[in-house]
């Protein structure tokens, strides 16, 4: 089942790249393994998956201990400042930075470990009340502040689009975030390191790729439905 799912996702990523005239190598697949047991991640690892996305600090800590060390862990969920210290030395990328305060805490913790930490700014493009993330017009000012930091490295932008039956409804959101991403790249406020646009989930990743995503975060499409009751 996992193998077939991964194959199907891979084929859809390839077709979306083709439709958009993009090379497959421009898009990184993040396998979103939240709520899934370590054994399931191990199975995916054996099928070649190396990039896993988790949304809880505790889950990253537990899985990090028992799974192979060449896994790239991505923190994709809301991050509380008091928990940064537990993962700053374990994650390859934090997708969900949405305030100066959080960026400052990551900077401080990264300095303690004497390592650089790659981050994305999370943008609530649709301005949904229920969601975390910066408003579009808050992104550039924060991006500029972050360039003053020496350990936190701004690598790009991320958004969680609304859940919609028809993914076409999210196309404008993805296009808007892509525009903002290009703006930031062109401003060169980042010394040329902004190269990640994380958008698209199971329901809408093909549209996201057509609109320029360089990273898609897929959970259900790979691992099946999540069971939150256990």
Ligand X SMILES: *Cc1c(COP(=O)(O)O)cnc(C)c1O
CB-nearer residue toward ligand X: 121 or 149? 121
19-181-212 Cα angle (round to 5): 10
**DSSP characters over 133-190:** SB-HHHHHHHHHHHTT-SSEEEEEEE--PPP-SSGGGGHHHHHHHHHHHHHHHHHTTT
Interface contacts to ligand X, rule CB under 6 A = 32, 34, 55, 76-77, 160, 201-203, 217-221
CB-nearer residue toward ligand X: 5 or 203? 203
Q: Least distance from C-beta 208 to ligand X, angstroms?
A: 11
Q: Least distance from C-beta 76 to ligand X, angstroms?
A: 4
Q: Least distance from C-beta 162 to ligand X, angstroms?
A: 12
CB-nearer residue toward ligand X: 154 or 208? 208
Q: Least distance from C-beta 26 to ligand X, angstroms?
A: 19
Closest residue to bound ligand X by CB = 219
Strand residues in the chain grouped as ranges (E):
28-32, 51-54, 72-75, 91-97, 117-122, 152-158, 196-198, 215-218
CB-nearer residue toward ligand X: 35 or 147? 35
- HSE-CB at 203 with a 13 A cutoff on CA atoms is 13
């Amino acid at each position: 089942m996992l193998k077939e799912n991964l194959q199907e996702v891979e084929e859809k990523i390839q077709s979306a790249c083709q439709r958009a005239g993009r090379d497959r190598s421009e898009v990184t697949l993040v396998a979103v393994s939240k709520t899934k047991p370590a054994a399931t991640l191990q199975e995916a690892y054996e099928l070649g998956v190396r990039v896993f996305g988790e949304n809880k600090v505790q889950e990253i800590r537990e899985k990090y201990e028992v799974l192979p060390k060449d896994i790239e862990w991505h923190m994709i969920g809301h991050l509380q400042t008091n928990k940064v210290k537990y993962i700053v030395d374990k994650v390859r990328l934090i997708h969900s930075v949405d305030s100066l305060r959080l960026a400052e805490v990551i900077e401080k913790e990264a300095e303690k470990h004497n390592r650089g930490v790659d981050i994305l700014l999370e943008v609530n493009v649709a301005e949904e009340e229920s969601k975390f993330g910066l408003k579009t017009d808050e992104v550039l000012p924060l991006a500029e502040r972050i360039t003053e930091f020496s350990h936190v490295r701004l690598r790009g932008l991320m958004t969680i689009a609304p859940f919609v039956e028809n993914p076409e409804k999210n196309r404008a959101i993805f296009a808007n975030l892509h525009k903002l991403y290009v703006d930031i790249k062109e401003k060169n406020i980042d010394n040329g390191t902004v190269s990640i646009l994380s958008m698209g989930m199971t329901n809408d990743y093909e549209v996201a790729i057509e609109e320029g995503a360089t990273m898609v975060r897929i959970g259900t499409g790979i691992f099946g439905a999540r069971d939150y009751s256990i």
